[in-house]
Amino acid sequence: MNYEKFYASRVSIMRPSDIRELLKWSLDKSVISFAGGLPDPKLLPKSFELEGLFEYLMMKNEYAFQYGETEGVNELKKEVIRFSKKYGGINANEDEVIITTGSQQALDIVSRLFIDRGNYVIVELPTYLAALQVFNLSEPQYVGIPMDDNGMRTDTLERKLKELNSEGISPKFVYTVPTCQNPSGTSMTVDRRRHLLELASKYDFLIIEDDPYGYITFGDEKMERIKAMDNEGRVIYLSTFSKIFSPGLRVGWAIANEELIRSFAIAKQGMDLSTSPVSQYIALFAMEKGIIEKRIPILIREYKKKRDIMLQSLEDNMPKETKWTKPIGGMFVFVWLKDAIDTKLMLEKAIKNYKVSYVPGKSFFVDGTGKNTMRLNFSYPSEEQIREGIHRLSNLIKAEYNNSF
């Protein structure tokens, strides 16, 4: 059967995600996976934490097992508001919050609400792959802004905005993961966050602040949320229970001006009616019992240990002409190899011969660069696997360097 003729034209734009395609290797125990951005399996919810959950769900039976409001379970929204205020300094009321089916759904909604074909959208170089996957379906024109150790180069952004402005072009939004970015691991300084807000005001665009990792930073650095500094209602803030509790729940949230949240809700109605009420009540249980607040310091302690081991192993093993980022939190280190190396071509050897996987970096870059880069996740592998995996990867890279010019 030839199915081609049945597909809508947008199907030709769809691309499989390098990350999702690699997920199977996370399940193959013989391969050490630095690929998927998965939480440490040892830090997923424990049975002692979830004691009483079944009774709790039965007590909420007529809500948890029923259809729910599109905006989300009201008590959960209240908990999200309290949490975002306490840990993120964000002020919001109940009309300014919507519960989403992971942040991924919020990104899909952003794509549907704001991008018409050919609209300009600004992203970081590199940026989160699955955001590009959903934005692509709306066929934007991307402008990629380079990053350095201090996050997005807002000076370059300003120059680019001036240029676009002189051509009469006004971008719809800047998409940023300002804290412990996926994939680079870097964080934007507070000065640059302010600068970004000033530019948004001057050139009249929205900011999508995607913040799954801001609650897992390792030091004392205060990563002030852009949303917390937003006086004009320009920032749409996204976060999720995926990294601080469980990605299996598929529960996230968005905070924005209430008019925008209303549009979010209308878009969401046609997508899934509401986020699973059962999942929302599990998240609510975890919030009310303080499970999440208790586990955040544990996540920080454990991930910091793993980050340190990864950085030390890279330092001890990687050949010269290789560099990498030094994240202050989150789950990822980003690596640049010699220009001659194509990490996508190298991947098969890595998996088959060296039994180690990573995400080739090219698909994180909207400008076609990044061929010689890779993303390494340090939250999922064990400490021993990190040491052994970096050793294996370094051996492969040394061999590739010897074969290259």
Task: List residues near ligand G9A by CB under 6 A.
Answer: 19-20, 23, 36-37, 130, 182
38 touching ligand PMP, by CB under 6 A = no
Half-sphere exposure of 253 (CA within 13 A, CB side): 26
Q: Which is nearer to ligand PMP, 247 or 360 (CB)?
A: 247
Check if the beta carbon of residue 49 is closer than 8 Å to that of residue 291: yes
Q: Is 247 in the site for ligand PMP (CB under 6 A)?
A: yes
Q: What is d(CA 233, CA 220) in angstroms, rounded to the nearest whole number?
A: 28
Binder to ligand PMP among 33, 70, 104, 280 (CB under 6 A)? 104
Please say which residue, 123 or 341, places its beta carbon nearer to ligand PMP: 123
Q: Is 214 in the site for ligand PMP (CB under 6 A)?
A: no
Task: For ligand G9A, give the closer residue by CB, 23 or 169.
Answer: 23
As to burial, measured by CB atoms within 10 angstroms (0-12 exposed, 13-18 middle, 19+ buried), residue 233 is middle
Q: Which does 140 bind (CB under 5 to 8 A by kind): ligand G9A, ligand PMP, none?
A: none
CB crowding 342-358: b at 16 or more within 10 Å, else e: ebbebbeebbeebbbbb
Cα dihedral sign, 104-235-181-251? negative
Q: No. of H helices and E strands in the chain?
A: 13, 14
Pairing of the two strands 120-125 and 141-148: parallel
Q: What is the DSSP letter of 255?
A: E
Instruction: Please tell me the distance from the alpha carbon of residue 189 to that of residue 315, in angstroms, as a whole number.
Output: 25
Query: Which one of the spans 5-13, 68-76, 96-104, 379-387 is the region binding ligand PMP (CB under 6 A)?
Result: 96-104
Instruction: Please say whether the beta carbons of 336 and 373 come within 8 A.
Output: yes
Which amino acid, one-letter code, is at 101?
A: T
Q: Which does 36 bind (CB under 5 to 8 A by kind): ligand PMP, ligand G9A, none?
A: ligand G9A
User: Rule CB under 6 A: is residue 360 a binding residue for ligand PMP?
Assistant: no
Q: Is 182 in the site for ligand PMP (CB under 6 A)?
A: yes
What's the closest the beta carbon of residue 363 comes to ligand PMP, in angstroms?
14
Q: How far is CA 206 from the centre of its chain?
A: 18
Q: Please say which residue, 161 or 299, places its beta carbon nearer to ligand PMP.
A: 299
If the CB atoms of residues 37 and 140 are measured against ligand G9A, the closer one turns out to be: 37
Q: Which is nearer to ligand G9A, 92 or 283 (CB)?
A: 283
Q: Which residues bind ligand PMP (CB under 6 A)?
A: 37, 102-104, 128, 177, 182, 210, 212, 240, 242, 247, 252
